[in-house]
Amino acid sequence: MTKETAIKLFEQKQIRSVWSDAEEKWFFSIVDVMQVLTDSQNPQVYWRVLKKRLLSEGNQTVTNCNGLKMEAADGKMRLTDVADTEQLFRLIQSVPSKKAEPFKLWLAQVGRERIDEIEDPELGFDRLMETYLKKGYSKEWVNQRLKSIEVRKDLTDEWDKRGVKKGQEYAILTDEITKAWSGLSVKEYKNHKSLKKENLRDNMSNLELVLNMLAEATTTEISKEKKPENFIENKIIANQGGTIAGNTRKEIEEKIGKKVVNKLNAIDYLANKKELE
């Protein structure tokens, strides 16, 4: 597994973390988190006791936790239990600590908001708009981003009708579209913009977003007309839709004299107080 290590700071204490390129996830040291949340003098023992209790309760979270080598205080690489974000949130719910309480309240709030959005999907768009604006995106960019979500939903609805399976098949077709219009696979595109877990579309300029929407919208329309009957036919159509947008990209680049697909990400744009344009 290719890994990139990093140190996460929480209340001025270090939480070791490891990024997995293969799984596209951050993994965090459980012992470090336990120490921060409980101020335990022996977080290793605290974690062993908590793990035993959770196992006796039938909790499967701890049995699925990975063991990865991380740099210890003595500078040596030692095997330590780690958890991804979902596992970590579940573990935090089981920690009886005042410091864990804000996390528990936040998780409860997120759960309530998700239920509200299921009952009234418009709330989800309103909340999404608010989130983007708080991050510093311009209203023009946010409106474009929300439109891209609608275009994507139309495409996935069409894929569902054609028997495309969510997960790996969605990912393969998305990769086909992206590579056809941008010249890069999704993974290559994210690496190009120095991204990890971040959403690729959230780090596109307006022009990149427009071309991506054109690729997906075109794929949707071709699929509606040709009605593909198997995955191979869907893949061919995905390439056709992406290629049309790719040809448009090349024409634009010829006129403006520079590449449309650039290395800038949201941090670069927002740090310079520039709109994504």
Instruction: Give me 12's structure tokens.
Output: 């001025």
User: What whole-number distance in Å separates Cα of residue 257 and Cα of residue 277?
Assistant: 16
Instruction: Give me 231's structure tokens.
Output: 């995955």
Q: Where are the domains of the chain?
A: 3-114, 121-271
Give residue-wise pLDDT tens across range 120-130. 777 877 888 88
- Could you give the C-alpha distances from 107 to 58, 92, 126, in angstroms and in order? 22, 10, 20
Give residue-wise pLDDT tens across range 12-70. 567 888 888 778 788 889 999 998 888 888 999 999 898 888 888 887 777 677 888 88
**Mean pLDDT across 179-202:** 93
Give every CB contact of residue 139 below 8 A, 6+ residues apart in sequence.
133
Give residue-wise pLDDT tens across range 249-268. 999 999 999 999 999 888 87
Could you count the other beta carbons within 10 Å of the beta carbon of residue 167?
8
CATH 3.30.70, domain 3-114, yes or no: no
